[in-house]
Amino acid sequence: MPVPLTPAQQKAVDALVRSGALRAVRPDEKKARAFLAGAESALADVPNVTRTENRYNLAYKAAHDVGEAMLAGYGYKTTYGAGGHVKVGRFLAAVFDTPPPRDAAAHYDVMRLDRNANNYLGKPVTHAAADTAAEAAQTLYAAALERLVT
């Protein structure tokens, strides 16, 4: 059972549902745990990856898996259509509204934009960006464990 959302967090999530970004579903602890395991696995490999772009992508995958775990744990899914990763980021920002996870949730969107710039525009990822992405993903993972694993 996840830690209940604060009234402010619930209000922000309800706004995402009203906007059509999310839909309410039954909470799925098994799915949440599976995504947390995926995030943990990705984070364990980040230090062993030698190519900056691959480290960045692995950190982004971990952060996205945390978002999916949080959605499942609280009983939400992104709606069908374009912008699924954006919607995950908006949910992370809604539920992680205090530092340090708030800053990591905000950085998720930076990570998404950088990853897209790399994937679709060929813009290289810097070592510093990969390091920051890994730190943000680790922060999100730790915060998710506190909220979902009781």
pTM of the model: 0.96
Q: Is the pLDDT of residue 116 over 80?
A: yes
In degrees rounded to 5, what are phi and psi of residue 5?
A: -70, 145
Task: Work out the percent of the chain whose per-residue pLDDT is above 70.
Answer: 99
Give CA 9 to chain center in angstroms: 16
Q: Is the pLDDT of residue 150 over 80?
A: no
Contact of 68 with 92, CB cutoff 8 Å? no
Other CB atoms within 10 Å distance of the CB of residue 9: 17
Report the chain's mean pLDDT, rounded to a whole number.
97
Going from the N-terminus, what domains does the chain have, and what CATH number goes with each? 7-148 (1.20.120.330)
> CA of 128: how far to CAs of 53, 55, 80, 124, 135, in Å?
11, 11, 34, 12, 11
Q: What pLDDT score was predicted for residue 24?
A: 98
Q: What is the pLDDT of residues 78-94, one digit of tens each?
A: 999 889 999 999 999 99
Contact of 22 with 71, CB cutoff 8 Å? yes
Q: What pLDDT score was predicted for residue 42?
A: 98
Q: Is the pLDDT of residue 61 over 90?
A: yes
